[in-house]
Structure 1
Amino acid sequence: MKVIPFKVPVTQAESVTVNEDILPFFYGHVHRHKEMQLTLILKGEGTLIVGNYTQAFKPGDMYIIGANQPHIFRSDDSYYREVAVDNVHAIHIFIEHENTLQFLSNLPEMEFIKKLMDNTLPGLQVPDEYLAHASRMFLKVNRVSGFKRLITFIKLVRYLTEEVKHYKSLSTGHDNMPFSGPEDNRMNQIYEYTIQHYSENITLERIAAVVHITPHAFCKYFKKHTRKTYKHFLNEVRINEACKKIINGDFDCISSIAYATGFNSPINFNKVFKKMTDKSPSEYIKEYKHNWDNAVRMLKEPA
């Protein structure tokens, strides 16, 4: 899919740029920029794509995305159908990688900055148990400005690098494959068709016909450009959608989620869900309810 070069609106007066988005839906294009990005989701659900990796996102999540890493926070389709000015709310911190971070990392006292630069290139998600404290610091960066913002940001980075353990990596383990020209359109067609029809029986013959090639050629083409099989990608999309249904409370029972997301049986759904998330659907529901209660309580607390 096409990756758009994105220009972060920066000010010459500050090294750390903060954008607060209160919008009908998140920016709807895969893009990249030279700045490292930290994002805190306060409102809104959808699918996060970072390079070749996809997963559902929800309120309370915090992500670190490396410089020049293609990504998109794609809002659920419902946000486009039911438009409101404040459907989504997120805060993004941007800091220039080559100059500002590099300069700070050269200071002996700032060795942890280099650790952040080295470890965040593929993208990371902050684990749930650290979100309360990290989010309070994050919100404070948004409230202050000038030198206070830089110092507060440095304190946040120090916490993220020295205190937070066991990050979730947003990486497939492979380098990203850049697309250009006709490949932009072809991969975008595959992606969009899958998003629109994931609940249906998408055979190889059916998806290959979307881009007018044979099933055998399609398998080779998709694996070459994504480093994964189409079946694996389709299962990722389906499990992401299942997670979003759980997040939104849009289900009657686990079996209803299975059939609504394109699985032919609850047994197969449970197997794939466990493989993708390391949790059973029932464990995920229980954990989400617990984390949601904590996130709401944390966001109401003064920073």
Structure 2
Amino acid sequence: MILTDWICMKALLEKLAPTADSSFKLYEFRYPYYPTPWHFHPEYELVLITKSYGQRIVGNHVGDFTEGDLVLIGPNLPHVYRNAPEYLEPNSTLLAESIVVHFLPDFLGVNFWNSIEMAPVRTILHRSAVGLQITGAVRERVVAVLVALSSVKGMRRLLALLDLLMQLAEAPESELVPLSTEPIEGSNPGEDEKLNRVLTYIAQHYQQPITLTELADLLSMSIPSVCRFFKKRTRKSIVQFTNEVRVSHACRLLLDSSRGIAQVAYESGFNNISNFNRQFREIKSMSPQGFRKVVGK
């Protein structure tokens, strides 16, 4: 199975059950693979991957995740984490584990974030509308706080969360990497259904040539209409998005040093090496060979 179910028929509104002993939610997940479909919810979400790897979609961003990946996702921003195909094999013994924090924008009161002292945190929360990948030294500090959260309760847990948010607010901008190019909210069920039919089709067929005619037929729309619709909803062209899915898959294949660059290109859906190299460099700001050297260190 290759990402055939990474997005369901529409972006689901996930309703999270409140807890009686805390103003925010802390989860420690352990699955054979991440089962949650393409979804959104009104809470902020901080996700730490403690074990597993695969592909994540946040808004219109397509990227890989692996152990240690840390992302802050703003309210109503559609997202999904899908493990690599080997996690879905019948006899797989692999595990997908993560620590997740959810909190509502007003979980400390409507005006709390409007206080002068909270201005730096308010800025970070605003920036998370597109999703932020947390990297560098601040990632190490935030991970330490997240791992310790489960061992504290009550006021100490709340203070730890506020300390975590201040760590983010004080981090260099370069360590908080925007993901989606623009905020994208999952709020229109009719349009979500159409969008996800296209996204699912791309997920199922990205290793083969995909034509605009196929996508137009899928939605019973004209080619110009389908292109306008996709660009309006994702702020990216169909070709651009498809190339990002292909390059993301290529990055995973490049971790296997036994595969040649040409083999990686063809297995990722590119029909010639020069186009693969060009698209890879445009998306990753380095060549496939350079990427392999960096990740192989």
| Structure 2 counterpart of 1:71, one-letter code | H
- Residues 1:98 and 2:84 are matched in the alignment: no
Match of 1:299 in 2: none
Q: In structure 2, which of residues 226, 237, 244 is the aligned counterpart of residue 236 of structure 1?
A: 244
Q: Residues 258 and 39 of structure 1: is their aligned pair in 2 closer, same or farther, counting only changes over 3 Å?
A: same
- Residues 1:172 and 2:185 are matched in the alignment: no
Secondary structure of the corresponding residue to residue 173 of structure 2? coil
Match of 1:52 in 2: 60
More helix by share: 1
CA–CA separation in structure 2 for the residues paired with 1:222 and 1:108: 40
Aligned residues: 288
TM-score (norm 2): 0.87
Match of 1:116 in 2: 124
Which stretch of structure 1 is more off in the superposition, 91-100 or 61-70? 91-100
Match of 2:6 in 1: none
CA contact (8 A) 2:141 2:167 kept: no
Q: In structure 1, which of residues 189, 202, 206 is the aligned counterpart of residue 214 of structure 2?
A: 206
Match of 1:63 in 2: 71
The offset of 1:102, in angstroms, is: 4.7
Superposed, which structure 2 residues align to 1:1-303 within 5 Å?
2-82=10-90, 87-100=95-108, 102-166=110-174, 167-173=176-182, 175-176=184-185, 178-181=187-190, 183-247=191-255, 249=256, 252-290=259-297
CA contact (8 A) 1:251 1:257 kept: no
* Seq. identity, %: 30
TM-score (norm 1): 0.85
Secondary structure of the corresponding residue to residue 98 of structure 1? coil
The offset of 1:39, in angstroms, is: 0.6
Q: Which 5+ residue runs of structure 1 have no aligned equivalent?
A: 291-303
CA–CA separation in structure 2 for the residues paired with 1:120 and 1:221: 25
Q: Residues 266 and 220 of structure 1: is their aligned pair in 2 closer, same or farther, counting only changes over 3 Å?
A: same
CA contact (8 A) 1:5 1:33 kept: yes
CA–CA separation in structure 2 for the residues paired with 1:102 and 1:78: 45
CA–CA separation in structure 2 for the residues paired with 1:101 and 1:289: 47
The offset of 1:14, in angstroms, is: 1.1
CA–CA separation in structure 1 for the residues paired with 2:289 and 2:114: 48
CA–CA separation in structure 2 for the residues paired with 1:15 and 1:74: 29
The offset of 1:16, in angstroms, is: 2.9
Q: Residues 150 and 251 of structure 1: is their aligned pair in 2 closer, same or farther, counting only changes over 3 Å?
A: farther
**Superposition RMSD in Å:** 2.4
Q: Which 5+ residue runs of structure 2 have no aligned equivalent?
A: 1-8
CA contact (8 A) 2:149 2:160 kept: yes
CA contact (8 A) 2:33 2:83 kept: yes
CA–CA separation in structure 2 for the residues paired with 1:90 and 1:214: 42
